[in-house]
Amino acid sequence: MSKLLALDIAILPPPDVGQRAVHWSATLPGEESQGLRLDAEHLPHITLTQHFVRIDELDAMFEHVDEALRGQPRLTLRATGGGGKRSSAWIAVERTEAIAELHERLMETLRGFERPGGGPAAFFEGDARVEDVVWVTGYRLTSSLSAYTPHITLGHASEPPPIDPFTFEAATVAACHLGRFCSCRRVLRSWELA
């Protein structure tokens, strides 16, 4: 059986928004960070789907994503401020009909490529916590469809930083290899929206 890979199909925000996310991540208290900081190797992103997939099925899967994204217009997204849950801090992104529909379309497109049995070895450099494996394993049941909450994770903190609402255009979707803390570590393929 082919090796598995922990995969995130995600929106990569435009550079100015990515830079702000890196800045806000750096302002989180160091003693609460648990080692997660956004930077050039831990990419700011808005998750659309997460799965364990077979490495030998990546090309076929990418063809399905090609089809799902064909004609997809760019998204106008609104960051509504800082948010968080448990010890995670993020930039909250409004769940519009357009982003929810894109999320649902990709979840359905990739349903046939999801594989059980992923473990730490499926993550970037084999570096994952038990919590990361559990999160990706349970993504469809606990965090998708009606439970989908778009956001840009900044790191860990008891309180998110103060963030004024702002609007931005999302033009890039990427398939990313997930690393520790389910961070986007390596872009495997990207798509520019129409």
- pLDDT tens string 157-174: 999 999 999 999 999 999
Question: Residue 35: CB partners within 8 Å, gap ≥ 6?
Answer: 180, 181
12 contacts 190 by C-beta, under 8 angstroms? yes
Query: Does 39 score more than 70 pLDDT?
Result: yes
- SS3 for 92? strand
Predicted model pTM = 0.95
**Of 22-31, 72-81, 84-93, highest mean pLDDT:** 72-81
- pLDDT tens string 87-96: 899 999 999 9
